Amino acid sequence: MPLSSVESKIQYAAAAWSGLCTAGDRVQLNVFLRRCMKLGYRERDAPTIEEIFTMTDDQLFSKINSNSLHILQQFMPDRPSLNYSLRARPHNKTLIAKTTQLNGQDFIIRSIYKDSY
């Protein structure tokens, strides 16, 4: 199986399953990608698994945020406009309360809380 096919399979739906990967899973995926690099199937400056996961999360969140008819848009309500002088956020969505560990692994919650400090 060509590596481009393997990388595309890793990237496919990564936003859905990357939150469920443990640190050990990420290490194993990085070892696999480094082995492919060592064998010459991958470029030296190719992204790590964390960069791939971040890139796919950002792309999907951007598509959801920009398309008001997207099926996942209903799970991301807009933040009410208030006349406060707060720092700018990368999105205008309401922060969803984290109640369990599983919520922190959810794509939408991960994306909404990203860069919120």
The tens digit of pLDDT for each residue in 49-86 reads 999 988 888 888 888 888 888 777 777 777 767 666 66
Exposed/middle/buried for residue 101 (C-beta within 10 Å: 0-12, 13-18, 19+)? exposed
State how many domains the chain has: 1
Domain interval for residue 18: 3-113
Q: So what's the pLDDT on residue 30?
A: 92
Answer whether 46's CB lies under 8 Å from 33's CB.
yes
User: How much is the average pLDDT of 102-112?
Assistant: 70
User: How much is the average pLDDT of 95-105?
Assistant: 68
C-alpha distances in Å from residue 25, one per residue of 2, 28, 109, 115: 22, 5, 21, 24
